[in-house]
Amino acid sequence: MGYGRSDSYRVATTQDKVDKSPKKKKGAKDMDDLKKEVPITEHKMSIEEVCRKFQTDIVQGLTNAKAAEYLIRDGPNALTPPPTTPEWVKFCRQLFGGFSVLLWTGAILCFLAYAIQAATEDDPAGDNLYLGIVLTAVVVITGCFSYFQEAKSSKIMESFKNMVPQQALVIREGEKVQINAEEVVGGDLVEVKGGDRIPADIRVVSAHGCKVDNSSLTGESEPQSRSPDCTHDNPLETRNVAFFSTNCVEGTARGIVICTGDRTVMGRIATLTSGLETGKTPIAKEIEHFIHIITGVAVFLGVTFFILAIVLGYSWLEAVIFLIGIIVANVPEGLLATVTVCLTLTAKRMAKKNCLVKNLEAVETLGSTSTICSDKTGTLTQNRMTVAHMWFDNQIHEADTTEDQSGERGRGRRVPLFDKSSVTWLSLARIAGLCNRAQFKAGQDALPILKRDVAGDASESALLKCIELCCGSVRASRDRNKKVAEIPFNSTNKYQLSVHETEDVNDNRYLLVMKGAPERILDRCSTILLQGKEQPMDEELKESFQNAYMELGGLGERVLGFCHVMLPEDQYPKGFAFDTEDVNFQTDNLCFVGLMSMIDPPRAAVPDAVGKCRSAGIKVIMVTGDHPITAKAIAKGVGIISEGNETVEDIAARLNIPVSQVNPRDAKACVIHGTDLKDLSQDQMDDILRNHTEIVFARTSPQQKLIIVEGCQRLGAIVAVTGDGVNDSPALKKADIGVAMGISGSDVSKQAADMILLDDNFASIVTGVEEGRLIFDNLKKSIAYTLTSNIPEITPFLLFIIVNIPLPLGTITILCIDLGTDMVPAISLAYETAESDIMKRQPRNPFRDKLVNERLISIAYGQIGMIQALGGFFAYFVILAENGFLPTRLVGIRLNWDDRSCNDLEDSYGQQWTYEQRKIVEFTCHTAFFVSIVVVQWADVIICKTRRNSVFQQGMRNKILIFGLFEETALAAFLSYCPGMDVALRMYPLKPSWWFCAFPYSFLIFVYDEVRKLLLRRNPGGWVERETYY
């Protein structure tokens, strides 16, 4: 954000570097401005007016002087790159973001405590220093890890740049010159031809069969023709404007440049996309909430014991060190690494299932998603026109539109096959094959027909493929019926015809075939082919034609009519010169054969995926640039508008009443047109999003897509957007999670997205939702597990302060638990399978269902943690008692115990202990306490496997978890028994019996939690669930 786009409009671009402060203020306003509709008005002006506005000439073009002047005024015709964040800033964000803050604070406090100790004591204990260093190391290592993991770069602007045309043909001072596209200025007269990229937004002044591919801008699959007349108020829909960086597919056109660079429609999208600020991911918010809780607990404990220490008569400095010690002890050192690794593992797992996650935190987002806004073209549909229906022999036939021609349409439905032997069908197929200019590109015979590339427009290609599939080689048929004459399609005729020789060598007649707009074709026909016989066209047949036409049109399909006639030999003998300019042959009294209708059909996996999203409580909204009828048809086809649900218009039509009389509350579904959307107020918009469950937005501009996403977010929804085009990119960026298509998606959309579906399969989203929900649950378990051991780690220090016993657990041993033994079991919980069908429950409510809540803290700290602490202390007292220090002797012994000069400390039996001997016993106790925590954590990891089910229901199939149990025990034994550990980490070998001190407590934890979960399952919604279900 923060670069004034509209400023540079008025002043030269060199201004860019001058004052940055006023720009920042304007940043917000500019973004609002960008979100508004395109301010182009030139399409409504006459050509003369446009010329006057830019002081240009319709024939001569701009003068060179004028062009140079404009170039200085407007700047080059290029997209301004956004200010890029340097790599080190990104790295620092990883280093100081989210969870790391907690650890940094801990580290700083540690150094502070050490500094105090160093200043006051002669021989300060190094514990705090080590702890500080370890904490720093943990943050830095994890920071590096996630930095390299993500390594995502916001190269959005660069991918836009790739779309920019390099050269442009302009007319200046009456001469055609080829110049760099960057030098094109407003008012330039530009010529484009088929295959070119449009160099700027141009107002077409003349065109010859010009068609442009606007799919990157509007999402329409088929090329749009361009002509000089204004056909629509909306600049995006009118025929006389062609847009920057769209492709001219065929024909030629000449136009006046009306916008250049960032001011073009595409430039606005680019600026909008790269300027959008995205909020925090849901998981980041949860972690923040977690940090608040942990900090709260830590500060509360710290301050309480600080006061207690003062009351007990410690000095201020000692109390401060205790305060810091307690706060730091609350920091779960290993959790940052655990969370990062868990998310990474899920990301890897999703990548295996073809969901590539660019941002680690986005792994969970799909799981929280409550609304999916999906683009239609290319996401829900295959983005290729396909013949869907045919009408011949007075009957509608369905064609197979599935991607693999399997006939499967999801939910077990199959396409009924039609009779391919009908003579009418053969005639229809022949017309469709002959009256067709599309052809397969060379050298693709090995490929399956549907995968071959076709040269020609979308609907002709669809016909070609359909015929090739059903009736064999079209080329052979064309060879047999040599083309004699042809009139290509144009918008005034609305038909295309060609004249062919017949297959039969002895038959000297010519065959005339014609296809075009059905009503035009019907007007030219006097007979109709039924079951292979020509019959006169009567009113009844005309009506049935009308019905079929209406029905197919109502399905959002593009309908073409086909007819043919055998030209009589006496009028058109062999060698007759057909003149296509001045038509000298019969073009009426033809024989109508049938209709074929085409649509961009939905992908096979989509209906099931939409159904699964529904049952998972996720609202699926279609947002498309395409026409409402087509959009609605596809929405119905894929189940976004489910069967039986009606829109207001449907109800009105069914009850035969005006739309205004229908209660909008009755209609669950609704289809909203982009132009209506423009006039809606924010409240009306909220109203629609809240009250309709099945919504289709049609004819939406990229800006409107963004507004829709923002509307959903305003209502508290977590929004996922799927899309593949440039027009989706602002919405993709703004969404909580943008999902782009890996194969068909444009680079821009992939850059703006957080997740990429590598196989373009919408169904992968369902996988994403499932994995996201699973990892959320498992992170809860992992955190519950990790936090539990905090209590047995803190309580020794607290008792050390309050009752003055020798320290039961040292800093090093705490670190061994947090960063050593606890790690693998905590991570292994990420591999836990779901307890129930997570796709059957509602998405979590981000305000209510938190990752870490009070109940989790109460279970971990208040219940299980306390039992663990008891286990640890039991081992501690057992060892000291075996050595002669009975618990009663220990209370208040601390000052003497830690006194180096006291070498004759007596135990309960009167034995005297030197300082060094005492310390060995103390460190043996540390080791025993440590081992006891490992033992009770066995039980903890097993109870944390499930939140509601019993372990016996869940089973122990998680092998990583069993591995974790083995490894933590092995590590504990290693630390205790490895020679040299007494010097390195001050850990001593334990007698075997001391291992078993904590076993009863471990068992107690298991039983306690099983009983709790049993009660929880027995009384759903009861006290136990309300108070302890995390």
Specify the 3-state DSSP secondary structure of 807. coil
Active site positions, annotated: 375
Nearer to other proteins, 399 or 735 (CB): 399
Specify the 3-state DSSP secondary structure of 190. strand
Query: What is the DSSP pairing of strand 619-623 with strand 371-374?
Result: parallel
Nearer to other proteins, 29 or 957 (CB): 957
Report CA torsion sign: 885, 887, 893, 897: positive
Instruction: Please report how close the Cβ of residue 887 comes to other proteins at its closest, in angstroms.
Output: 21
Query: What is the DSSP secondary-structure string of 357-407?
Result: ESSTTHHHHHHH--EEEE-STTTTB-SS-EEEEEEETTEEEEPP--TTS--
Nearer to other proteins, 41 or 912 (CB): 912
Nearer to other proteins, 420 or 714 (CB): 420
Partners of 255 in beta bridges: 190, 204
Give the footprint of other proteins on this chain (CB under 8 A).
352, 400, 403-407, 417, 448-450, 469-470, 956, 959-960, 962-967, 969-971, 973-974, 976-979, 989-992, 995
With CA atoms as reference, report the closest residue to 938 among 849, 840, 1023, 868: 868
What's the rounded Cα separation, in Å, for the pair 702 and 710?
13
Q: How many CB atoms lie within 10 A of CB 716?
A: 11
Instruction: Please report how close the Cβ of residue 1001 comes to other proteins at its closest, in angstroms.
Output: 16
Nearer to other proteins, 415 or 652 (CB): 415
What's the rounded Cα separation, in Å, for the pair 743 and 745?
6
With CA atoms as reference, report the closest residue to 604 among 415, 790, 742: 415
With CA atoms as reference, report the closest residue to 402 among 613, 603, 180, 232: 603
What token pair was written down for 251? 């024909």
Instruction: Please report how close the Cβ of residue 543 comes to other proteins at its closest, in angstroms.
Output: 33
What's the rounded Cα separation, in Å, for the pair 697 and 671?
6
Nearer to other proteins, 115 or 962 (CB): 962
Instruction: Please report how close the Cβ of residue 937 comes to other proteins at its closest, in angstroms.
Output: 14
Strands (E) in 214-330, as ranges, are 224-226, 241-242, 247-259
Instruction: Please report how close the Cβ of residue 830 comes to other proteins at its closest, in angstroms.
Output: 15
Specify the 3-state DSSP secondary structure of 414. strand
Burial class (CB in 10 A: 0-12, 13-18, 19+), 990: buried
Distances (CA, A) of 228 to 239, 241, 458, 1016: 7, 8, 23, 72
What's the rounded Cα separation, in Å, for the pair 954 and 947?
10
Nearer to other proteins, 603 or 850 (CB): 603
Query: What is the DSSP pairing of strand 201-213 with strand 224-226?
Result: antiparallel
* Strand order across the 669-673 sheet: 355-357, 755-757, 737-741, 719-723, 371-374, 619-623, 694-698, 669-673
Nearer to other proteins, 71 or 879 (CB): 879
What token pair was written down for 641? 């508008």
Nearer to other proteins, 292 or 959 (CB): 959
Instruction: Please report how close the Cβ of residue 56 comes to other proteins at its closest, in angstroms.
Output: 54
Nearer to other proteins, 148 or 977 (CB): 977
φ, ψ of residue 989 to 5 degrees: the values are: -65, 140
Instruction: Please report how close the Cβ of residue 907 comes to other proteins at its closest, in angstroms.
Output: 13
Distances (CA, A) of 830 to 342, 478, 952: 6, 62, 19
Specify the 3-state DSSP secondary structure of 865. helix
Specify the 3-state DSSP secondary structure of 415. coil
Contact indicator for 184, 192 with CB cutoff of 8 Å: no
